[in-house]
Amino acid sequence: MSKKTTENAAPATTNENESCHGRILVVDDDAFILTLLSAWLEDAGHEVRTTENGDDAIALLPQFQPNLVITDLRMEGMDGITLLNEIQQYNAVLPVIMLSGSAQISDAVRAAHQGIFEFLTKPVEPDALFRCVRAALLYAGNTGGSQQTNSFAPEIIHQSTVMANLLKQAQRVAKSRSSVFIGGSTGTGKELLAHAIHRASPRADAVFVGVNCGALSEQLLESELFGHEKGAFTGAVRKHSGLFQAASGGTLFLDEVGDMPPTLQVKLLRVLQEGQVKPVGAVDSVDIDVRIISATHHDLELAVKRGEFREDLFYRLNVIPLYIPALNERREDIPLLINHFLAQQAQQDDLDELPRFAPDALDYMMSMPWPGNVRQLQNVVERCSVLSVSPIIPHSLVKKALRDSENKFQTLQEARDEFDRNYLHRVLRMVGGNMNNAGTVSGCSEKELQTLLQRHRIDPNEFRKASTEDEAASPQEGDGIRLV
């Protein structure tokens, strides 16, 4: 190691590092490097073990269970590549960072092809090391938690506390017959949650019937939901019993209920109040036995205030409200979701090697606003996995895939909402969450700001801490403009 690096003091631990701790095994036959790296990493809050050779490192794996291995390439006895192979036998997804002198570039290329996470040239700069360690730990999904194994909904990938609490609540309410309303922006997983609630309910053996209330014309939706007699209207060539009856004993999922036309809202309310449905053109009503789960990406409370959605129906549907937070409010879920979608795609495409994102690509994905939430993330991961010509997906490809995914045409309301959210985040970040200053900067009264923040569920307090972190960190590309 050169003099320059050995004289580097351990950098102050940044908040970025504090939020991402792991167990790190460092392997190098140079005792001085071991001491230096372990001092840096321990100061940054990681748990560190060191060994001077590959054999001892392998012996330590089952006992220490590292989240990351940092190893020298050239060592006495077992070299770094052989150690990498052994590690991969033990755990194929354990990230390995390889250290080497710059002259050994052909070894580096060889190692990259064998699936090292990142290659760092000696002398190691602390900032480069920390960036790389952070990305590797995020890749491994080890940001201090792990996928909460929950038999209630194992398909809902998460490690954030907000999601864990939401799922606990959902699991409890699944048992009852009460109507559940699921709110949340587009692509947050509302339909996935509706299915999970049904499966955990006493109605699990009966059917789950879903209908998208925004996708059908008023007449069609009415006859789909309530049924119709033969000849009830032009085109009604045979009797149709309707989804309320089809879902008997099970669950009826009214997706995008916020898009239901007002006249149908009245009819739906009547059906729910009376527990009976009368098909269009029929004389008699039929008893129904369904559990209603509804969802919308609109702010239904606001729609009620504006007179666009009936208040009485809102209360009927909203007996148990569940709100799925946007992906950018639970960024710790991102690495797990990425790994999940990569694995899904690899299985679908029958790939031998699981692709993964380069550290800077992963960092970029962690910092993006994801207005299309999990669906957009899934879309980007799939695109990258398909388009990447190497098993390590580069930053440039992620940028392109994200741009393409954002080109989906938005409605005017979606575009306005997105602009408002971006703008509010930008202002709050700028003024460190101070509402007085936010008012001055934006030219809005505090009351107007409060209303907007409430509507977009933004808490100004969260920007108090974030703003000091931002000042410490170097600015990200598009920071404050695209970040939500």
Ligand X SMILES: Nc1ncnc2c1ncn2[C@@H]1O[C@H](COP(=O)(O)OP(=O)(O)OP(=O)(O)O)[C@@H](O)[C@H]1O
Binding site for ligand X (CB under 6 A): 156-158, 184, 186-192, 297, 337, 374-375, 378
Give 107 or 299: the residue with its C-beta nearer to ligand X.
Answer: 299
Kindly state the DSSP code that residue 102 receives in the 8-state scheme: G
The pairs formed by 111-117 with CB atoms below 8 angstroms and a separation of 24 or more are 111/73, 111/80, 111/81, 111/84, 112/392, 114/81, 114/84, 114/85, 114/88, 115/84, 115/88, 115/353, 115/391, 116/84, 117/68, 117/356, 117/359
The single-letter code of the amino acid at 318 is: N
Coil/strand/helix, residue 322: strand
| Smallest separation, CB 161 to ligand X (Å) | 14
Contact characters 131-170, Mg ion, x per CB under 5 A: ----------------------------------------
Which position's Cβ is nearest ligand X? 189
160 touches, from Mg ion, ligand X, none (C-beta below 5 to 8 Å by class): none
Give 41 or 338: the residue with its C-beta nearer to ligand X.
Answer: 338
> What is the size of the binding site for Mg ion (CB under 5 A)?
2
369 touches, from ligand X, Mg ion, none (C-beta below 5 to 8 Å by class): none
**In 35-167, beta strands by DSSP E:** 47-51, 68-72, 96-101, 118-122
378 touches, from ligand X, Mg ion, none (C-beta below 5 to 8 Å by class): ligand X
The single-letter code of the amino acid at 79 is: D
| Smallest separation, CB 156 to ligand X (Å) | 4
Q: Which of 396, 401, 406, 469 is nearest to 432 (CA)?
A: 469
| Smallest separation, CB 354 to ligand X (Å) | 17
Kindly state the DSSP code that residue 202 receives in the 8-state scheme: T
Give 138 or 193: the residue with its C-beta nearer to Mg ion.
Answer: 193
Give 34 or 156: the residue with its C-beta nearer to Mg ion.
Answer: 156
70 touches, from Mg ion, ligand X, none (C-beta below 5 to 8 Å by class): none
Contact 107, 100 (CB under 8 A): yes
| Smallest separation, CB 199 to ligand X (Å) | 14
| Smallest separation, CB 90 to ligand X (Å) | 28
| Smallest separation, CB 340 to ligand X (Å) | 6
The single-letter code of the amino acid at 149 is: T
CA gap 251, 210 in Å, rounded: 8
Contact 244, 287 (CB under 8 A): no
Rule CB under 5 A: say whether 259 interacts with Mg ion: no
Give 198 or 228: the residue with its C-beta nearer to ligand X.
Answer: 198
297 touches, from Mg ion, ligand X, none (C-beta below 5 to 8 Å by class): ligand X
| Smallest separation, CB 210 to Mg ion (Å) | 9
Give 33 or 260: the residue with its C-beta nearer to Mg ion.
Answer: 260
Give 131 or 158: the residue with its C-beta nearer to ligand X.
Answer: 158
189 touches, from ligand X, Mg ion, none (C-beta below 5 to 8 Å by class): ligand X
Quote the tokens at residue 475: 């600015």
* Span 377-396, contacts to Mg ion by CB under 5 A: none
Give 39 or 215: the residue with its C-beta nearer to ligand X.
Answer: 215
CA gap 261, 221 in Å, rounded: 10
- List, in sequence order, every residue forming a beta bridge with 70; answer none if it has no partner: 26, 97
Q: Which of 229, 226, 233 is nearest to 268 (CA)?
A: 226
CA gap 267, 312 in Å, rounded: 12
- List, in sequence order, every residue forming a beta bridge with 26; answer none if it has no partner: 50, 70
Give 329 or 470: the residue with its C-beta nearer to ligand X.
Answer: 329
| Smallest separation, CB 141 to ligand X (Å) | 13
* Span 167-206, contacts to Mg ion by CB under 5 A: 190-191
| Smallest separation, CB 165 to ligand X (Å) | 14
Cis? peptide before 123, omega within 30° of 0 = yes
